Amino acid sequence: MSTSSENIADSPEAMETDEYYTHVEGVGNIPRDIYKYVKSDPLGDLPRYSMHIVIQHFLTFITFLVLAATGLTLHFADLWWAPIIMKLFGGPDAARIVHRVAAAWMVFASVYHLFTIIGGTAHKVLKKKFDIKRTQIPHLKDLQDIIHDFKYFLGKEQHRPRMHKFMYKQKLHYIAILWGTFVLVAAGTTLLYPELMATIWPNPQFAQDLARLMHADEAIMAITVIVFWHWSNVHLVPGRFPLQWSFITGRITREHQIEEHFLEYVNNLDEIPEEKEYMKKILKDKGFDTN
């Protein structure tokens, strides 16, 4: 039994009516593992991020590296490696200035991101094109996808779940970044402006001690998550190694989107006529049903 692309986008139950094939009107029955047969450009075939998101990610990436290098060096100044790195920034006083400038740029990138998300959402709502399934907002299907994916990796499912533009791992990444940025900015501001914060907090000394603890611990946690979770999941996994170019080009490879964001690929088939013709040709060449 097959389903239409409209039903797939609207109903999680409808997606599971056929585990292997997905029927897309005007294209045909797409098998779940069709990504094994398609050709892709390593720099990306299909749209993924807007130029605004690419710029924001680049700013966040650069400022994160600078903040990590200067912040860790200042925090662990008594360790043997700290003076070596400190010299690269011109000494402790210069490192503090660089750290604060990088922090200001990260705050700018965060505000820029908020304006982009809010403005873009408002524009789509006014144009009646807003679809919550294509956002980072978690919903019930993400839990279903986690369970399905666990079963797949344990060999209990034959294929990975059909997921939206942002899969559950990316939503967890995003929530972690939101929380981490809030904590780091709040704690950093408290440390940078103690007199101002003393007029807000009932116990200024406790606020300073708490901010110092939160700023350092959250920074170390953020570095750990970015290096050992985010970078490994995005760039080092099979099929992406040694680099996934989406954060520079704003585009995603066809294989990647079909495998991990299949429902977004269905949207692209509807929105990009050239992709629809390409998939019809692939199905026909491989002997799949194109009716």
Query: Band of the pLDDT at 6, cuts 50, 70, 90?
Result: very low
Residue 202: pLDDT band with limits 50, 70, 90: confident
pLDDT at 25 over 70: yes
> So what's the pLDDT on residue 7?
42
Beta bridge partners of 24: 28
pLDDT digits (tens, 9 = 90+) for 256-269: 999 999 999 999 99
Q: Stretch 92-103: mean pLDDT, rounded? A: 96
Mean pLDDT value across residues 132-152: 95
Q: What pLDDT is attached to residue 240?
A: 84
151 vs 12, residue with greater confidence: 151
User: Is there a contact between 257 and 158 (Cβ–Cβ < 8 Å)?
Assistant: no
- Predicted confidence at residue 192, as pLDDT, reads 93
Cα 119 to chain center, whole Å?
19
pLDDT grade, residue 18 (50/70/90)? low
pLDDT for position 290:
74
Under a CB-based contact definition with an 8 Å cutoff, are residues 176 and 47 in contact?
no
Tens of pLDDT, residues 239-258: 788 889 999 999 999 999 99
Mean pLDDT for the stretch of residues 115-119:
96
Pair 145, 262: CB distance under 8 Å:
no
Q: What is the residue-averaged pLDDT of the chain?
A: 90
Mean pLDDT of 9-38: 74
- Would strands 28-31 and 46-47 be described as parallel, antiparallel, or unpaired? unpaired
Say whether pLDDT at 14 is over 90. Answer: no
Q: Which CATH number fits domain 47-262: 3.40.1160.10, 1.10.10.10, 1.20.950.20, 3.40.190.10?
A: 1.20.950.20
Span 221-231, mean pLDDT? 89
Q: Is 91 helix (H, G, I), strand (E, B) or coil?
A: coil
Distance of CA 282 to the CA centre of its chain: 29
Distance CA 3, CA 5 (A): 7
Q: Are 1 and 17 in contact (CB under 8 A)?
A: yes
Asked whether the predicted pLDDT for residue 228 surpasses 80, the reply is: yes
Between helix 51-75 and helix 204-225 the angle, nearest 10°, is 120
Q: What's the confidence (pLDDT) of residue 5? A: 40
Q: What is the mean pLDDT of residues 149-164?
A: 94
Q: How confident is the model at residue 11 (pLDDT cuts 50, 70, 90)?
A: very low
Q: Does residue 206 have a pLDDT over 50?
A: yes
Is the pLDDT at 101 greater than 90, yes or no? yes
> Which of 49-58, 157-166, 193-202, 258-267 has the weakest average pLDDT?
193-202
C-alpha dihedral sign at 291, 157, 138, 112: negative
